[in-house]
Structure 1
Amino acid sequence: MILHELLSYDTLRVIWWVLLGVLLIGVALADGFDMGVAALLPFVGKTDEERRIAINTIGPVWEGNQVWLILGGGAIFAAWPPLYAVSFSGFYLAMFLVLAALILRPVGFKYRNKRPDAAWRSRWDWALFIGGGVPALIFGVAVGNALQGVPFGLTDTLVPVYEGNAILKLLGLLNPFALLAGVVSAAMLVTHGAAWLSFKAEGKVAGRARSIGSVSGLVAVAAFVLAGLWLAYGIPAYHYAAEVPANGPSNPLWLPMERGGSWLEAYAVRPWIVVAPVMGILGIALASLILRKGGGGWALLASKLGIFGVISTVGLTMFPFILPSSVQPGASLTVWNASSSHQTLFIMLVCTVIFLPIVLAYTAWVYRVLWGKVGAEELRSNPNAY
């Protein structure tokens, strides 16, 4: 009870904003290299054996890595109910595409080796490519739309309202800036996947991954810088029009919000956040350079640093906004108006403090057990290999 009183409502809101960012970064760091490897599969493996090597670098761990995606969705549902309601209802067709692509991944892993036919296996390899490439792209597109503002409104009873049918809404999400953000995401995760293959695979698979990753890393850096300039000088920001009590009610319509100015103003208010984009640029650029030089483990660490920086840049630049509204700025969702109750956030924090270390410890143990490179000899000696 004492701890509950010490952790004020505004403190818990910020803690859960940070935890949401941690979970999203966890998705990109863990499940991200799975997506990157799958997207690289048709290009790093010229023979069936080479493609099996690539698949078996992620085969034992992809299911555990996907837990981060589930945790992220669960955290949004429990800690930020309005965000869950607005985003999942407005993006449901895009999310359906992501889920359909993700479903191809377990099916591809399980069905690919059921028949020795080359055409059969090739079709499943391309299915795995879709299962990795489509989510990597769509996740970036979603972030790009969040930065611009999403065309939703709220009624007086806080019911989200979208204009247009599902197809028009999906096409609206595929705007130039959002697609550029999608390129950042896809290129970044391809680089991450290439670093993983360079670290984990042997032979020609690792060599081709290094060649592709060294280029995709440069693409990711260039697209990230271009998106940053576009965001700073071409896309209006959002801000509160009045003083914000951080422990106020969770009602997006409670205080007026406006659209105008530049997102770059966040760096004048909080200059220390410039560390995030610098980390993103240097991390991915360093991963590209190390891959070009033939490295593996250090490239993977650098790509992790870059991903941390890129995702942190988005959150820190937008703070306190989480999902702005482009058609009704006053309905925008922020850290201060879209959270669950004080009691709910506290109980969830206690559960997180207990169970998250267990998840991390188990994950570390799994990677320790599965340590080592995957090559042709491993495939021949391991009866459980895909």
Structure 2
Amino acid sequence: MEFIDYTTLKMVWWLLVGILWLGFAMTEGFDMGVGMLLPFVGKTDEERRVAINAVAPHWDGNQVWLILAAGAIFAAWPIVYATTFSGFYLALMLMLFSLFFRPVGFDYRSKLENKKWRSTWDWGLFISGIVPPLILGVAFGNLFLGVPFHYDDYLRSFYDGNFFGLLHPFAVLSGLLAISMFVMHGGAYLMMRCGDEVYNRTRTYTQFAAIAVIALFAIEGLWLWTSIDGYALTSEINTGAPANPLGKTVEIFEGAWLTNYTEYPLTMIAPIVGFVAAFGAFLSARARKAGIAFAMTTMSMFGIILTGAFSLFPFILPSSVNPSHSLTIWDAASSELTLSIMLFATLLFVPIILIYTVWCYVKLWGKYSVEDIREKQHSLY
């Protein structure tokens, strides 16, 4: 990859990390969304098994995107990974422990014909569906507020906040937006994969979630525009230099998070898609067009996530303690050799992941109904 210079490599990896998180949102978004809907769209054990069978064969493959995205941050931006895990340690541990319910819940939930046993694991799957998007949404919201960390002269990071300090109302609202997006996306997916009363209830919840996405996204945008000061680079930065977050000047002022939309008008496509596609998901679910609804929910999530990414660029992790210590894509990246080797591995292996993922869905595609569950009582789920 010698034909790609260091500055371009940094930009490429900002795009690739973003693509991996978009892949996580699209795949884990619908199976976590189904987990959140599970106790509500299924009134009987058989109906809940219909919902479970729609995602159970795929959830572990979908989780590959979460592992890839986290691993990419570790490899591409090691200083971001280290600082983030220091500050968000308790929150990330809560997310990790919530994920423990997933393999156990899917594999053991239907092993015993005991109502209390199965109900307990249904709520366990609900927890494993709602906690990760809530925590990731809160974390993403905190990026716009600034994270309380700084470095000493030896680049040792110090975190000056605590867990409860992350629960700013704006960040909590971001978490609720993430939950609404996943419920909307999971509902659209479940509409494609189930029948009977599960379909009708899911259709209703999908419409409610789409309305919530539109409302929360609008409130977040207005809040960011009117009440939250943004970060901006006010000094020259050597985009091709090795990682060193201490050699720049950053200032905080009103409206800074929106300057990229003024300088690069094409980025306005992202928030427009976020709103329009969410409304399209509402209309499609109302019209019983499950496939179109799923496409709309995917586009809406992509638009909303890209809206945040475009606002933050080039910042990755802003510091509220010392803004000049904020991490950007230019001063937090791994070495040129590391980024080059990783790019080669990514171009080789990500297409393989995409191929086997699509193959699994093609082979296992179909609708589930209560009759299917009754006919296949020996089914794993």
Same fold (TM over 0.5): yes
Q: 1:290 — aligned with what? A: 284
Residue 134, structure 1, aligned to residue 128, structure 2:
no
Q: Which amino acid aligns with 2:338?
A: T
Q: Conserved in 1, the CA contact under 8 Å of 2:110 and 2:380?
A: no
Residue 230 of structure 1 is aligned with which of 197, 214, 223? 223
In the TM superposition, residue 53 of structure 1 has moved relative to its aligned partner by 0.3
Alignment of 1:187-198 (within 5 A): 187-198=180-191
Residue 251 of structure 1 is aligned with which of 224, 244, 254? 244
Structure-2 separation of matches of 1:212 and 1:269: 39
The farther-off stretch of 285-294 and 363-372 is: 285-294
In the TM superposition, residue 380 of structure 1 has moved relative to its aligned partner by 3.6
Alignment of 1:3-18 (within 5 A): 3-4=1-2, 6-18=3-15
Residue 346, structure 1, aligned to residue 348, structure 2:
no
In the TM superposition, residue 154 of structure 1 has moved relative to its aligned partner by 1.0
Q: Which amino acid aligns with 2:28?
A: D
Q: Which runs of 4+ in 1 moved over 6 A?
A: none
Residue 318 of structure 2 is aligned with which of 316, 320, 324? 324
Residue 266 of structure 1 is aligned with which of 238, 254, 260? 260
SS of structure 1 residue aligned to 2:109: helix
Structure-1 separation of matches of 2:79 and 2:224: 25
Q: Conserved in 2, the CA contact under 8 Å of 1:35 and 1:132?
A: yes
Q: Conserved in 1, the CA contact under 8 Å of 2:107 and 2:380?
A: no
In the TM superposition, residue 55 of structure 1 has moved relative to its aligned partner by 0.4
Deviations along 1:79-102, one digit per CA (max 9) or x if unpaired, are 000110011111010001111111
SS of structure 2 residue aligned to 1:142: helix
Q: 1:116 — aligned with what? A: 113
Q: 1:176 — aligned with what? A: 169
Residue 311, structure 1, aligned to residue 280, structure 2:
no
Q: Conserved in 2, the CA contact under 8 Å of 1:148 and 1:326?
A: yes
Residue 276, structure 1, aligned to residue 273, structure 2:
no
Structure-2 separation of matches of 1:121 and 1:261: 51
Q: Which amino acid aligns with 2:311?
A: T
Structure-2 separation of matches of 1:92 and 1:320: 24
Deviations along 1:285-330, one digit per CA (max 9) or x if unpaired, are 2112211222211101110011111111111111100110011101
Q: Conserved in 2, the CA contact under 8 Å of 1:379 and 1:385?
A: no
Q: Which amino acid aligns with 1:224?
A: F
Q: Which amino acid aligns with 2:265?
A: P
Q: Conserved in 2, the CA contact under 8 Å of 1:112 and 1:121?
A: yes
Any stretches of 5+ residues in structure 1 without a counterpart? none
Q: Which amino acid aligns with 1:242?
A: S
Structure-1 separation of matches of 2:195 and 2:157: 51
Q: Conserved in 2, the CA contact under 8 Å of 1:191 and 1:216?
A: yes
In the TM superposition, residue 138 of structure 1 has moved relative to its aligned partner by 1.2
Q: Conserved in 1, the CA contact under 8 Å of 2:33 and 2:182?
A: yes
In the TM superposition, residue 159 of structure 1 has moved relative to its aligned partner by 1.2
In the TM superposition, residue 256 of structure 1 has moved relative to its aligned partner by 1.7
Residue 204 of structure 2 is aligned with which of 207, 211, 221? 211
What percentage of residue pairs aligned between the two structures are identical? 48
In the TM superposition, residue 110 of structure 1 has moved relative to its aligned partner by 1.6
Deviations along 1:74-131, one digit per CA (max 9) or x if unpaired, are 1001000011001111101000111111111111112211211111111111111101
Equivalences, count: 379
Deviations along 1:329-348, one digit per CA (max 9) or x if unpaired, are 01101010100001110110
Residue 71, structure 1, aligned to residue 68, structure 2:
yes
Structure-1 separation of matches of 2:148 and 2:275: 30
Structure-2 separation of matches of 1:285 and 1:31: 22
The farther-off stretch of 210-219 and 247-256 is: 247-256
Any stretches of 5+ residues in structure 2 without a counterpart? none
Q: Which amino acid aligns with 1:191?
A: M
Deviations along 1:15-37, one digit per CA (max 9) or x if unpaired, are 00000100111110001101100
Q: Conserved in 1, the CA contact under 8 Å of 2:274 and 2:304?
A: yes
Deviations along 1:153-176, one digit per CA (max 9) or x if unpaired, are 111111110125xxxx11111110
Q: Which amino acid aligns with 2:343?
A: L
- Over the aligned positions, Cα root-mean-square deviation in angstroms equals 1.1
Residue 384, structure 1, aligned to residue 355, structure 2:
no
In the TM superposition, residue 381 of structure 1 has moved relative to its aligned partner by 4.1
Deviations along 1:132-156, one digit per CA (max 9) or x if unpaired, are 0111211111110012111111111
Q: Which amino acid aligns with 1:311?
A: I
Q: 1:94 — aligned with what? A: 91
Provide the TM-score with structure 1 as the length reference. 0.96
Provide the TM-score with structure 2 as the length reference. 0.97
